[in-house]
C-alpha cells in the first residue's frame, strides 16, 4: 500500500488540493462562480462519483466476480468524464477497480453500475429505472427529474441530496454513513 501511495502521490496531492480549494472557496472573496470555480466544482463532483462506490451495495448477481470493476457511465458531461477517468486511474473503490465509460444517448445501460446523467441526456434516467444502477445528476431539480442522487451547491460547497424511493426500486442499498453526510434525504426508509 505504501508503494501504491507513493506511486499515486501526485494525484493524491491534486485531489487534496482540490479539497482544499473546495474548502477555501467559501472563504474566498468572490461570491460569483467563475470558470475556475466551475472547474473545481466539476472535479469535486467527479471525486464524489468515484467515492460513492464504497457506500453502495449492489444486488448479488450484479458483478461477475468479487474483483470485477465498478463501471461508472458518464453521459452528456465529457469534461467530467475526463476528470473522472484521470482520477480513478489505478484507484479502487473498496476492493473493486473503477472504470469510466462515456455514454451517448441511446446507449444501453447494461454493465453500468453508476451513471451520471449530464445535460440533455435525461432519457437515460428513464432507461435506468428498475435497473440496479445508481443514477446521479447535478442541479437543484435533479430528484424531480427522477435521479437518485443530485449534486447541489450549498454555501458554495458541493453537497448532494438523496431520494430513497428510486433507490429502493432499483434494488440498491446506500450506506447509512453516506446518508448521514447527505445534504437532504427524501423518501421513506423501508
Partner 1 sequence: MSGLRLRSVRTKLFVGVLVTSLAAILITGASLLAYDLHNVRRALTDDLGTQAELIGRACTPALQFDDSKAADDNLALLKVRPNIDAAAVYNGKGAMFGHYVRDGAAPETYPMLGGGEDEVRFSGQDIFVNRRIIDDSHEIVGFIYMHAHYNVFDRARSYLGIVLAVGSMALLVALLLSLWLQLTVTRPILNITGLAQQVVERGDYSPRAEKITDDEIGYLVDAFNRMLSEIGGRTEALEASNRELGHEIAERKGAELALRHSEKRYRALVSTLSTVVWAANQRWEFEGEQASWEAYTGQSRNEYKGSGWRRAFHPEDQETLDRFTESASKGQQTYEVELRLWQAASASYRIVGLRPVAVYDGAGEFREWIGTVTDIDDRRRAEDEVRRLNVELEGRVRDRTAKLEEANSELESFSYSVSHDLRAPLRAIDGYSQALILDFGSQVNEKMRNYLDRIQAGTKRMGQLIEDLLSLSRISRHQLERRPVDLSAMAEQVLQELQQREPERKVQVSVWDGIMVDADPRLLKVALENLLGNAWKFTSKTPDARIEVGMVEEGVRHTIFVRDNGAGFDMAYADKLFGAFQRLHGVNEFPGTGVGLATVQRVMFRHGGRIWCQAKPDKGATFFFTLQEDNPAPVVASSSSAQHPLRLD
Q: Which of 7, 9, 20, 186 binds partner 1 (CB under 8 A)?
A: 20
Near partner 1 by CB under 8 A: residue from 70, 72, 87, 93: 93
Which CB atom, from 23 or from 119, has the smaller least distance to partner 1?
23
Nearer to partner 1, 5 or 110 (CB): 5
Distance CA 132, CA 85 (A): 22
CB nearer to partner 1: give 91 or 145: 91
Of 79, 96, 70, nearest to 45 by C-alpha is 79
Q: Is residue 89 a contact point for partner 1 (CB under 8 A)?
A: no
- Residues near 145 by Cβ (< 8 Å), separated by ≥ 6? 122, 125, 137, 139
| C-alpha of 7 from chain center | 24
Shortest spacing between CB 42 and partner 1, in angstroms: 15
Stretch of 14-22, 71-79, 111-119, 130-138 lying at the interface with partner 1 (CB under 8 A):
14-22
Q: Where are the beta strands (DSSP E) in the chain?
A: 56-57, 70-75, 92-93, 96-103, 114-117, 134-138, 149-154, 157-163, 173-174, 184-186
Which residues contact residue 188 at a Cβ distance below 8 angstroms, ignoring those fewer than 6 apart?
164, 165
The count of chain residues that interact with partner 1, using the rule CB under 8 A, is 30
Cβ 92 to partner 1 shortest distance, Å: 5
CA 189/CA 182 separation, integer angstroms: 15
Site residues (CB under 8 A) for partner 1? 1, 4-5, 12, 15-17, 19-20, 22-23, 44, 48, 51, 54-55, 91-95, 157-160, 175, 177-178, 180-181
Amino acid at each position: 500500500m505504501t508503494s501504491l501511495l507513493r506511486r499515486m502521490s501526485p494525484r493524491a496531492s491534486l485531489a487534496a488540493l482540490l479539497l482544499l480549494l473546495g474548502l477555501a472557496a467559501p472563504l474566498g472573496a468572490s461570491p460569483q462562480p467563475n470558470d475556475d470555480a466551475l472547474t473545481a466544482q466539476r472535479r469535486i463532483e467527479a471525486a464524489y462519483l468515484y467515492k460513492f462506490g464504497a457506500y453502495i451495495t449492489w444486488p448479488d448477481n450484479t458483478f461477475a466476480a468479487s474483483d470485477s470493476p465498478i463501471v461508472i457511465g458518464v453521459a452528456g458531461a465529457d469534461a467530467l468524464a475526463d476528470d473522472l477517468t484521470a482520477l480513478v486511474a489505478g484507484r479502487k473503490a473498496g476492493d473493486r477497480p473503477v472504470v469510466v465509460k462515456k455514454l451517448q444517448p441511446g446507449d444501453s445501460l447494461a454493465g453500468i453500475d453508476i451513471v451520471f446523467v449530464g445535460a440533455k441526456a435525461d432519457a437515460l434516467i428513464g432507461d435506468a429505472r428498475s435497473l440496479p444502477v445508481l443514477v446521479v445528476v447535478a442541479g437543484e431539480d435533479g430528484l424531480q427529474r427522477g435521479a437518485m442522487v443530485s449534486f447541489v451547491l450549498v454555501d458554495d460547497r458541493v453537497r448532494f441530496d438523496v431520494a430513497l424511493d428510486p433507490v429502493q426500486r432499483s434494488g440498491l442499498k446506500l450506506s447509512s454513513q453516506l446518508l448521514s453526510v447527505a445534504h437532504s434525504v427524501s423518501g421513506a426508509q423501508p
